[in-house]
């Protein structure tokens, strides 16, 4: 399975090769040709590995992943949050990393290079360590020191870069031009997105069906795309009839997806957001992400750092530490309700993408008046 790659745009196809991360013919993003079969009887065991057959990736590497719980929070009124911060490295990126690293390991890859704002680097470093693959991570210089140290703790070599997020991407791609080094890109590689489909499968298992609305942060969009594809496959397999409305949330400082929807204003250039996980200026899969949101009847909103900070605090007061990027999704839930995009008390899920334990340095130092929280 998954022994063939196809182009998302032109008619290029080829046998799977770990060195290919974009279409050599037209430069577009590529896809895995085979999908695997959604056979309910195949779902047994624990961790992401229970989805190996569904993903079409045999013997998925495992660090003993939990089912990310659904939790009610007063700071996410009328919704439940899916707490992806409880995965082995503390973020949803473990889903994509497990799939991508397994896919590469099965082709004999011994050394990978990645670019990351932090969470993906840590996740890929951990699963690479688990699989015996050497890992090098390129990060923006401003990345949370905890995330950098985390990747180093898994044995990865971390290289910091000044300038925009894209400087790390360029450096990782250059490093992969050396023989024997493979670019294991969370931004580009289809096996990463394939792994993220497991979040849809798990929501379906936990809810007994698809939620009506899913609110989530959008950076490169692998999360939103994985969710959309996972539910599409569940529909095709006859396991649900519902298409969840997908509401993406971006920081007002970086809006490549949101600016394609009428609901958002333009970006505020030059401002550095605390939501470091969603500072991707040119997502390679932007067109696919916009199409997935459109097909679901959803939209993409923007939130400001002040709103993110308030939600980080509010979640903490309820006993839950969320990263700023995830707090952005909680703020996005409010924005969606204020705009009338979420009616009544339908089944709404907000994806909390990562643990706030890694980003305590971003927690606003000054006390926020608890009385004001509900006014913002
Ligand atoms: Zn192509």
* 216-239: average pLDDT: 96
Report angle CA 36, 39, 43 to the nearest 5 degrees.
100
CA of 127 from ligand 1 middle (Å) equals 29
Give 6 Cα–ligand 1 centroid separation in angstroms. Answer: 8
Are the C-beta atoms of residues 108 and 132 closer than 8 Å to each other? no
Query: What was the pLDDT predicted at 26?
Result: 97
User: Within a 10 A sphere around the Cβ of 20, how many other Cβ atoms?
Assistant: 17
Between the CA of 312 and the centroid of ligand 1 the distance, in Å, is 41
CA of 25 to the centre of ligand 1 (A): 5
Structure confidence by residue, pLDDT tens digits, 70-115: 999 998 888 999 999 999 999 999 999 999 999 999 999 999 999 9
pLDDT average, residue stretch 135-144: 90
- List alpha helices for 215-339, DSSP H: 222-236, 286-296, 305-317, 324-338
Question: If you measure from the C-alpha of residue 287 to the centroid of ligand 1, how many angstroms do you get, rounded to a whole number?
Answer: 14
Mean predicted confidence (pLDDT) in 169-189: 91
Mean pLDDT of the chain: 90
**Cα 14 to ligand 1 centre (Å):** 11
* pLDDT tens readout for residues 34-74: 888 999 998 888 899 999 999 999 899 999 999 999 999 99
CA 7 – ligand 1 centroid, Å: 5
Burial (Cβ within 10 Å: 0-12, 13-18, ≥19) of residue 221: buried
- Tell me what pLDDT residue 161 has: 94
Compute, in angstroms, the gap from residue 221 CA to the centroid of ligand 1: 20
The alpha carbon dihedral of 110, 32, 209, 346 has a sign of positive
CA of 33 to the centre of ligand 1 (A): 14
User: Cα torsion at 227, 71, 367, 117 (round to 10°)?
Assistant: -30
Query: Which one has a higher pLDDT value, 159 or 346?
Result: 159
Q: How far apart are the CA of 335 and the centre of ligand 1, in A?
A: 38
Q: Report the share of the chain in percent with pLDDT over 70.
A: 91
- pLDDT on residue 142: 84
- The pLDDT, as a whole number, for residue 143 is 82
Please give the pLDDT value at position 276.
65
Q: How far is the CA of 30 from the centre of ligand 1 (A)?
A: 7
8 A C-beta contact, residue 214 and residue 247? yes
Between CA 251 and CA 267 the distance in angstroms is 8
Tell how far the Cα of 168 is from the centroid of ligand 1, in angstroms.
Answer: 24
What is residue 265's predicted lDDT score, i.e. its pLDDT? 52
Distance 13 CA to ligand 1 centre (A): 8
The alpha carbon of 38 and the centre of ligand 1 are apart by a number of angstroms equal to: 28
pLDDT tens column, 268-324: 555 566 666 667 778 999 999 999 999 999 999 999 988 999 999 999 999 999 999
Q: How far is the centre of ligand 1, averaged over its atoms, from the C-alpha of 286 (Å)?
A: 16
Percent of the chain with pLDDT over 90: 71
- Residue 349: pLDDT over 50: yes
* 320 torsion bin: left (phi>0), alpha (psi -120 to 50), beta (else): beta
pLDDT, mean of residues 3-28: 95
CA distance 265 to 261: 9
Average pLDDT over residues 232-261: 94
Confidence band of 376 (pLDDT split at 50, 70, 90): very low
Q: Span 207-227, mean pLDDT?
A: 95
Query: Stretch 136-154: mean pLDDT, rounded?
Result: 90
| pLDDT one-digit tens code per residue, 247-272 | 999 998 888 999 999 755 555 555 56
Instruction: Let me know: does 83 contact 69? Beta carbons within 8 Å.
Output: yes
Q: Is the pLDDT of residue 367 over 60?
A: no
């Amino acid at each position: 399975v998954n022994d063939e790659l196809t182009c998302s745009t032109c008619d290029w196809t080829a046998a799977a090769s770990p060195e290919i991360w974009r279409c050599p013919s037209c430069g577009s993003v590529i896809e895995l040709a085979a999908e695997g079969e959604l056979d309910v009887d195949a779902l047994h065991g624990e961790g992401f590995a229970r989805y190996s057959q569904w993903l079409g990736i045999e013997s998925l590497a495992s660090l003993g992943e939990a089912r990310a719980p659904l939790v009610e929070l007063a700071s996410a009124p009328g919704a439940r949050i899916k707490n992806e911060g409880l995965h082995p490295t503390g973020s949803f990126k473990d889903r994509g990393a497990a799939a991508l690293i397994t896919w590469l390991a099965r082709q004999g890859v011994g050394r990978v290079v990645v670019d990351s704002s932090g969470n993906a680097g840590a996740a890929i470093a951990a699963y690479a360590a688990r699989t015996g693959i050497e890992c090098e991570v390129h990060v923006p210089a401003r990345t949370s020191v905890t995330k950098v140290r985390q990747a180093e703790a898994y044995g990865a070599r971390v290289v910091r870069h000044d300038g925009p997020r894209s400087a790390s991407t360029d450096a990782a791609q250059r490093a992969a031009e050396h023989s024997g080094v493979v670019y294991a890109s969370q931004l580009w590689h289809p096996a990463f997105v394939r792994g993220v489909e497991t979040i849809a499968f798990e929501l379906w298992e936990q809810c007994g069906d698809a939620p009506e609305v899913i609110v989530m942060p959008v950076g490169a969009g692998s999360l939103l795309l994985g969710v959309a594809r996972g539910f599409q496959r569940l529909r095709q397999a006859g396991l649900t009839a519902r298409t969840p409305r997908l509401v993406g949330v971006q920081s007002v400082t970086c809006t490549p997806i949101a600016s394609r929807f009428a609901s958002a204003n333009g970006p505020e250039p030059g401002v550095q957001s605390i939501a470091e996980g969603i500072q991707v200026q040119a997502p390679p899969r932007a067109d696919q992400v916009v199409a997935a949101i459109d097909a679901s009847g959803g939209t993409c909103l923007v939130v400001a750092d002040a709103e993110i900070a308030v939600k980080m605090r509010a979640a903490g007061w309820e006993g839950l530490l969320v990263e700023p990027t995830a707090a952005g999704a909680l703020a996005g839930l409010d924005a969606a309700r204020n705009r009338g995009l979420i009616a009544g008390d339908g089944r709404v899920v907000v994806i909390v993408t990562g643990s706030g334990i890694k980003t305590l340095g971003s927690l606003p130092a000054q006390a926020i008046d608890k009385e004001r929280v509900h006014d913002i």
